[in-house]
Structure 1
């Protein structure tokens, strides 16, 4: 006989994968001190279905989600997703990417090369985590506004990947706020491998070394067995051996879980 006076939780609950801060662990390059504190808030735009604002250092990001909205025409069995990332016009000079091939631009107009590159990567990250089959004959629009950056020189690989990581994290929180069904919240990590050193958020002075370096950004669904949904490598990839690649993945995964633990704590407290 069941206890009717006790409120039971759902049968298919999943325990959040929050790293334990206590106990002995091997020293790692990625820890809570290596990630600067960041400010996060959701539900900041009333006429959007979901929105979020993230601030870390001088980097300010705002994300708004519109949809699912019905579309006209032939029936499609899943929702379509449109992603647009733009820098505010008063950011001067407007960041440009020198390595992006503008011939690959598809479906977006009025964006610079670097805005196309960021939009394409973000779209590739969020598509695996959304249950688009739940919303047939619908469209979902994602608008990302980059209000400010730590440095305008996004030709520096580390600066671009650092910004991209926080765009993905902010977008994930906006999707949670929208109520659109998701498989997991996406977070990520960005590190630089320089010789035997692992550098978190490398500064410009780190570029002065003659040692070959590789910058890497990886985004994960941590509750889905740390499934990788996005990977962005910049630098001399010929120097990236299997051992270094494994090290890069592990360090990015550790950083991703630290950020995820902070986002989990924020979401739990904000929705109480």
Structure 2
């Protein structure tokens, strides 16, 4: 089942035409506050983000490391809700009709919202894809199949422990791209080994025609460039979220210049990705 006619497919086609990999950036919706988050989100395309992952804040993000857990907590404490996340996307879409937005998170907030209601509102807001880390392929009827029917890409994670027997099951209803988690464990901890990542990307490519994005453990422009030489996109999350956290004062408020600093860091990452294959 392949629903690759939307913004994600168009963006990867454009990247292929340009002969380069993409930069996928992750921020948590509502972190550190709604206004600062909106400024960062709206500025990401100009800073060089080719695709954007927007984290759905959740009180128990078990696959995430301390940086993204803290970001989720900041957003929730600031009053962030699933409805407000969709409003953020809607506002972004009014200014940018091309950059794909993927919501990343856990099933609980979507289940609480109501699957069909959520999908209808997500499509209307301009969401292109979902990465839901706690729904295995065995649960595809819950959200994956309805999402595909609604025209929303369902992006799956593959990991170093996903063997050849498991891989076809993981890829069965995957669309948009495959997100390869380059290290075993939680986000934002170790860094990836490029040789191992290269072999893993090659293995995934034997099983699917979908683009392969690689994330977890990419913290610097040089590391992003290394991944951009072997994958279709490099995903940077915890390093950006940490940069946001570094710009917050003791009261938890955004210091002046936080958004500009974060977008400056994204520009550096983008420059690394763009020069990787030159």
What is the TM-score normalised by the length of structure 1?
Answer: 0.26
Structure with the bigger RCO (C-alpha within 8 Å, sep 6+) is 2
- Which structure has the bigger radius of gyration? 1
Bigger share in strand: 1
Bigger fraction of residues in helix: 2
Q: Could you state the TM-score of these two structures normalised by the residue count of structure 2? A: 0.26
